[in-house]
Structure 1
Amino acid sequence: MSRSEPGKIAERFARDLITMLNRTVCDRAFVGVLERPDGMVVFGTGLRRGQRAEPIPMKTRGGVPCWLTVSGQLFLDGDNYLTVKKSTFLVSAGKPAVELFHYDYERDKIGYPDAHLQIFAHGEAWDELLLASGRSEGSVSKLHLPVGGRRYQVALEDIVEALIAEGILEPQAGWKAVLERSRDEFRRRQLAAAVRRDPSTAVAELQTRGYTVAAPDQALVSNVVQFSKSRLRRLGRRGPRER
């Protein structure tokens, strides 16, 4: 079965993740993409048809097994951009693997921040605070700690870099340049999405820096949009436009 346009873009996104992981802290990492009948595109580490995302091993300095699980769902938004509906970056360790923490994003989540961190940990001070607030002992992992919201959330590259910086993972030569290049692409997409959602703020900031910004000629907008989208397709748009 041939891929739809969203599926093709998602495949490029998955290939970029594979390249980034295998050139930094993994060997033979695989990120799969599946298209659902409802138009949603699912991606995940180790994902094969009909299966869920699976943890993939990362190389550690101390020899203790450490695993990464990446999963998520993508969809086309009203402007025809591939967008993240939800995603999870989960780190676990040991045999059998025990979850340590995970960064989650769930678009328009009710009751909790869209982008949040959950940590599996214990501590007397935490237990005292949680018990006093009516929660159960050892329920730190149930807390949803905010991490930057929809536009400024933690990137997967940030997590990999932090684990390297803390001496947990054993990176390959040249890892830093790979991470920086991959993260820069992600941040540019986020910035472009932020400007698209709030152009007036972008215009105001450019004007304070001496730029002259003209409002678009509405008669030409449609042609310009179509040209831009066509150009992006020719260039091979890399990954979801925004989260």
Structure 2
Amino acid sequence: MTSTAGPGGERYIVQPVDPHNNLQKIPLFVGGVELASLRVVFYLEMDSVETWLKAVRTDFAVHSTLDRTPLLRLEYRADMHSDPIAHWQIHAERGSMSHLLARAHHVRPDVVAKPHDMSSLHFPVGGERFRPCLEDVLQFLVHECGIDAQPNWLDAVESGRVQWRRFQLRTAVRDAQAEAAAVLAQHGWTVTPPAEVRDEYTKIFTRW
């Protein structure tokens, strides 16, 4: 892990590196043959209450060994304003999709600027709280793309996913405490609000 100065203060970067501290992609094999690689980078800063580290940016990208262009990317940017805060970008082409985008480009060139470049599309995937995690990407690569995996890999992936989703749930509860208290009360819990209820972070739930 390295640290740099970020817009919110100290920023920590977590990524696999080689012995010279350069970013190292994770090789992906099919039948023992390296066909692709996975790039993984997390950018972390302290949260708004200066208690926990939070991800402010993540970059997951699968690259083919045939060229430098990524096959697909899953990105998250906490400071995103125009595009979805968390999104897939797919580097592939399909004739019918290009046809749709080309027609849309003639009508709305301000929206569809690159009708023949499907990778310019940002597919929203749940925003800041409910976005996919690294474990989702790993399972996709094994189950859907046929990437080789170690024995018991699924146990490790599912364990990591549970941990991730529980952390995200805790943060979502902090953001919407009234809703959380109401649900608990419906299930028989006794919930006593504090003297001062923290403002809810509704902006978290409105951003796409």
Of 200, 204, 221, 2:178 maps to: 200
Q: How far does the alpha carbon of each residue in 1:90-146 deviate from its partner, in whole angstroms, 9 at most, with x for none? A: 011123443110100001311111010000001111111111122434310000100
Tell me the residue number matched to 1:210: 188
**Residues 118 and 143 in structure 1, CA contact (< 8 A), matched pair in contact too:** yes
Q: Tell me, yes or no, if structure 1 residue 34 matches structure 2 residue 2.
A: yes
User: After the TM superposition, which of the residue ranges 97-106 and 41-50 deviates more from structure 2?
Assistant: 41-50
How many residues are aligned here? 185
**Residues 34 and 42 in structure 1, CA contact (< 8 A), matched pair in contact too:** yes
Tell me the residue number matched to 1:235: none
Query: C-alpha separation between the residues in 2 aligned to 1:88 and 1:162?
Result: 16
Q: How far does the alpha carbon of each residue in 1:34-86 deviate from its partner, in whole angstroms, 9 at most, with x for none? A: 111451111223277774x3422023237252100011311112211211111
Tell me the residue number matched to 1:139: 117
Q: What letter is aligned with 2:30?
A: T
Q: Whose strand fraction is larger, Structure 1's or Structure 2's?
A: 2
Tell me the residue number matched to 2:85: 114
Do the aligned partners of residues 109 and 47 (structure 1) sit closer, same or farther apart at CA in structure 2, a change above 3 Å counting? farther
**Residues 114 and 120 in structure 2, CA contact (< 8 A), matched pair in contact too:** no
Tell me the residue number matched to 2:94: 123
* Runs of 5+ unmatched residues, structure 1: 1-32, 219-243
Query: C-alpha separation between the residues in 2 aligned to 1:190 and 1:48?
Result: 33
**SS of alignment partner, residue 182 of structure 2:** helix
Q: Whose helix fraction is larger, Structure 1's or Structure 2's?
A: 1
Q: Tell me, yes or no, if structure 1 residue 90 matches structure 2 residue 90.
A: no
Query: Deviation at 1:213?
Result: 0.9
Of 132, 139, 151, 1:161 maps to: 139
Query: C-alpha separation between the residues in 1 aligned to 2:19 and 2:178?
Result: 43
Q: So what's the TM-score if we normalise by structure 1?
A: 0.70
Query: C-alpha separation between the residues in 1 aligned to 2:118 and 2:19?
Result: 33
Of 150, 160, 165, 1:182 maps to: 160
Give aligned-pair identity as a percent. 28
Q: So what's the TM-score if we normalise by structure 2?
A: 0.81
Moved over 6 A (4+): 47-50
